[in-house]
Chains A and B, each alone.
Chain A
Amino acid sequence: MSLVEARGLVKRFGSLTAVDDISFSVERGEVVGFLGPNGAGKSTAMKIISGFMEPTAGQAWIDGHNSHTDPIPARRHLGYLPEGAPAYADMTVAAFLEFVAAMHGMNRQQANRRLAELVDRIHLASVWNQRIESLSKGFKRRVGIAQALVHDPDALILDEPTDGLDPIQKYEMRDLIRSIAPQKAIIISTHILEEVEAVCNRAIIIAKGRMLADATPAELLARAPSHGRLALALVTANPQGAIDILSKHPGVGRVEIVQRVNGVTRLAVQTSKACPSTSELTSLLGQSNIAVTEFYMQRATLDDVFRQIANHGAEN
């Protein structure tokens, strides 16, 4: 069995179905991004897998232990950062992390050694003896991450680990996640899509409680409407000739005029697998004396894919 396994998870609140038949598994070394708009059911699914919330149907396992019928061993192998990174506001960072470590059954020596390592890695030294209520949002989030890592668990479920961090802290957090990834199975939820490209090797898109996609970021990008589109800027006010020339090429699909400004025309060229090369196209256009000022392959963003999948899924 995989390190994290979810089968047929369903959660209903009255007539609202927050999680609708979610199944997936995460192996060691995988970082899975849970993507979805707010209220999509990401947090609910994570609460169920962590064992905090009872599902209406379905089951979840952490390291082979059912998180509901066998919760204690399951929790030993799980590091969990709940939504909003809750922590005891009246405790100092040190006291709080020592408390969590002890609750995980670590003795003082083990805890001290592990905490010394984490303080360094998550940069908590400057606030070590401060009360948590006095910390900034970014530090609170980092305390939450530290709390989830204290017992060096095999599986990690992190609900929005970079929420509230500034760009540099975000970068560091992603670095941290990447560095621990090879030994662990990690699920992170986010609505920041660049984060998925930065740290995840798999993305699961959830909207209205349903899983709409489960693929690598590259596979998802391939689904983008703008994927494999050439952008051309030509120095001509009348591009019809150029369009005719381009359309003759077997690797070219539809050609669209995007913009005509000051005698420069921008074209969007849909290409297929037999995409024409740069030199091929420039020489083709050069034959009819059309100057090309810009020429690039449009890079699809996960934003496009996400919007497309989420909207499409919502219509069904």
Chain B
Amino acid sequence: MHPLLLVFRREFAGYFSTPVAAVFLIVFLALAAGMTFLVSGFFERGQADLSGFFFWHPWLYLVLMPAIAMRLWAEERRSGTIELLMTLPVQPWQIVVGKWLAAWAFAALALLLTTPLWITVNVLGSPDNGVILSSYLGSWLMAGAFLALAAAVSALTKSQVLAFIGATAVSFLFVMAGFDLVIATVRPWAPGFIIDAVRSMSFFAHFQHITDGVLELPSIVFFVSLIVFSLWLNVRFVEVKKAA
């Protein structure tokens, strides 16, 4: 078996070796449902779509994805197994990608468990299932970007708590990049193209494009390149800081 798949399998199984996975899935489903039904007013809106559900994903992921990814490297560092792992005859990128894929697969599982909502809207009305499917895919892709960022941050510390806080802070900047909160700090000094560049980093704006029904190419390219860049950073962090 390919080393990447071996790492993936070990890591994915690792989620279920403790009750953490179950707790996480319950929290995710409870929050997603709570936001959809109570805050977005799923029934009151009288529309057969899931926009009230997907609207919350960037905010949910902001906290929940760092929670999935925080242990990926911090735990290896804390327990010393990183020394074992990094002296096995495999390339660091295979380990980095394997670990991230495991987290991403876990996120997919969490998303899959929300499909009863999809069934519900189909029972109650006739939604645009194409939009819902592309929203699901877009949400999963965005989750991948959150996870890649959080995994890279996790490689910098042996404390899962620090990894979680650091990853949440970084993700927060990306989610808020299109909002005044972030833009206002850049506007006074930066030239226009930098402001545009910062604005274009917004997870929120990109995800909105996707949930609007167009699985827009630039948004896909954005998330994919952010994932690739974060994984590359992760490899560098691991190589440079593995023994530190």
Contact = CB atoms under 8 A, between A and B. Distances in A.
Interface residues of A, number: 29
A82 B83 contact: yes
Interface in A40-81: 47, 50-54, 71-73, 75-76, 78, 80
Interface string B147-184: 00000000000000000000000000000000000000
A286 interface: no
A57 to B, nearest CB: 16
B10 A52 contact: no
Contacts of A51: 87
Contacts of B83: 47, 52, 82-83, 86
Contacts of B89: 71-73, 75-76, 103-105
Given A47-B243, A52-B243, A54-B243, A103 B81 contact: no
The listed residue with most A CB atoms (<10 A of its CB), out of B17, B83, B86, B91, is: B83
Interface of chain B, helix or strand or loop or mixed?
loop
Nearest to A44: B243
Contacts of A50: 87
A89 interface: yes
Nearest to A159: B83
A89 B86 contact: no
A52 B88 contact: no
Contacts of B81: 86-88
Interface residues of B, number: 20
A135 B33 CA distance: 41
A83 B91 contact: no
B84 A87 contact: yes
B130 interface: no
A102 interface: yes
B242 interface: yes
B90 A99 contact: no
Given A78-B87, A82-B80, A83-B80, A103 B6 contact: yes
B79 interface: yes
Contacts of A100: 84, 88
B123 interface: no
A297 interface: no
Interface in B24-42: none
B229 to A, nearest CB: 24
A252 interface: no
Interface of A: 47, 50-54, 71-73, 75-76, 78, 80, 82-84, 86-91, 99-100, 102-105, 147
Interface of B: 1, 3, 6, 10, 14, 17-18, 79-81, 83-84, 86-91, 242-243
12 contacts: A47-B83, A47-B243, A54-B243, A72-B91, A76-B89, A78-B87, A84-B80, A86-B83, A86-B84, A99-B6, A100-B88, A104-B89
Given A86-B83, A88-B79, A105-B89, 14 more contacts: A47-B243, A72-B91, A75-B87, A76-B89, A86-B81, A86-B84, A90-B18, A99-B10, A100-B88, A102-B6, A103-B3, A103-B6, A103-B88, A147-B84
